[in-house]
Amino acid sequence: MGLYFLAGGLPVAGVFYSFQISDHVGKGIVVFLVLASIWVWTIMLAKHLELLRAERLDREFSRAFDRQTNPLEIFVRGPAHPHSPMAKVYGAACLAVKREFESRASKQQRTLSQIDLSQERLSALQIDAIRKVAECAAADQILLLEDQMAWLGSAYTVAPMLGLFGTVWGVMTSFEAMGQQGAANISAVAPGIASALLTTVVGLIVAIPSAIGNNRLNEKIRFLGIQMENFADKFATSLQQAFLYE
């Protein structure tokens, strides 16, 4: 009795029995869904840790950026916060600023090291172009954060349908056996129905955590994406304050 209601009321013995009497199709579906469940949980755990790390690194970089007096100060000092998605957006925007200054220095037949950045100015059009570079870099970082998320969406969509397919297949097989016997013998058909329903149960066990995990992770990715988009605006505002023509 204790074995039958292990794991919070889950009839473990009944599950094993249903699996044992399943045909090859049912067993194959159950094994596939169990492996898919392991894979889904691996993705969710890895992505959760990745997003926590990205959030922490972005927070550290944001504090460092707010402390500087010049928006290019961190970039000029050298590589910093290399694994922060927000810092990568900052790096792409600063490279765009550098290209603007290099283009101006080239027109003046000078090198970038020969011009005084504190005296240089940018037009509103140039700052808007730099903002767009930062926004594109933020979009690229969001795409990287969304890596593997499509698999979670596929898992909670496909798993119930695959389980339902196994159930329909098992029921069809059971009724076929009933027809061959020529009588509705419930004791003979019930085990087959139980094994058929097993695939739906396993499919839901895979789908429900996948749906919850997918929604929570997408919520965190959306938060990080908004933070990066806001940073692009903040950086452009800092450039306006420091380099815009008066």
Answer yes or no: is pLDDT of 116 > 60.
no
What pLDDT band is residue 4 in, cutting at 50, 70 and 90?
very low
**Rounded average pLDDT over 47-74:** 93
Look at residue 175 and tell me if it is in a domain: no
What pLDDT band is residue 7 in, cutting at 50, 70 and 90?
very low
Look at residue 210 and tell me if it is in a domain: no
Between 150 and 244, residue with greater pLDDT: 150
Give the position of tokens 């930062």: 134
Residue numbers of the domain that contains 141:
44-161+219-246
Q: What is the pLDDT of residues 81-98, one digit of tens each?
A: 889 999 999 999 999 998
Answer yes or no: is pLDDT of 185 > 70.
no
Cβ burial, residue 42 (10 Å; 0-12/13-18/19+): exposed
* Per-residue burial over 57-76, b = 16 or more CB atoms within 10 Å of its CB, e = otherwise: bbeebbebbeeeeebbebbe
Between 88 and 7, residue with greater pLDDT: 88
Across the chain, mean pLDDT equals 83
Q: What is the rounded CA–CA span in Å between residue 140 and residue 40? A: 24
Q: Taking the CA atoms of 172, 177, 178 and 180 in sequence, report the sign of the dihedral they define.
A: positive
Cα→Cα distances 15→27, 161, 188, Å? 12, 20, 18
pLDDT at 143: 95
Answer yes or no: is pLDDT of 73 > 60.
yes
What pLDDT band is residue 1 in, cutting at 50, 70 and 90?
very low
Look at residue 146 and tell me if it is in a domain: yes
Look at residue 143 and tell me if it is in a domain: yes
Look at residue 66 and tell me if it is in a domain: yes
What pLDDT band is residue 107 in, cutting at 50, 70 and 90?
low
Look at residue 18 and tell me if it is in a domain: no
Residues of the chain with pLDDT > 90, as a percent, come to 49
Q: What is the rounded CA–CA span in Å between residue 173 and residue 22? A: 10
Look at residue 35 and tell me if it is in a domain: no
**Rounded average pLDDT over 51-65:** 95
Q: Which of 44, 25, 78 is nearest to 198 (CA)?
A: 25
Q: What is the rounded CA–CA span in Å between residue 47 and residue 210? A: 13
**Rounded average pLDDT over 27-37:** 91
pLDDT at 213: 94
CA angle 23, 195, 197 (to 5 degrees): 125
Look at residue 39 and tell me if it is in a domain: no
Domain count of the fold of the chain = 1
pLDDT at 8: 45
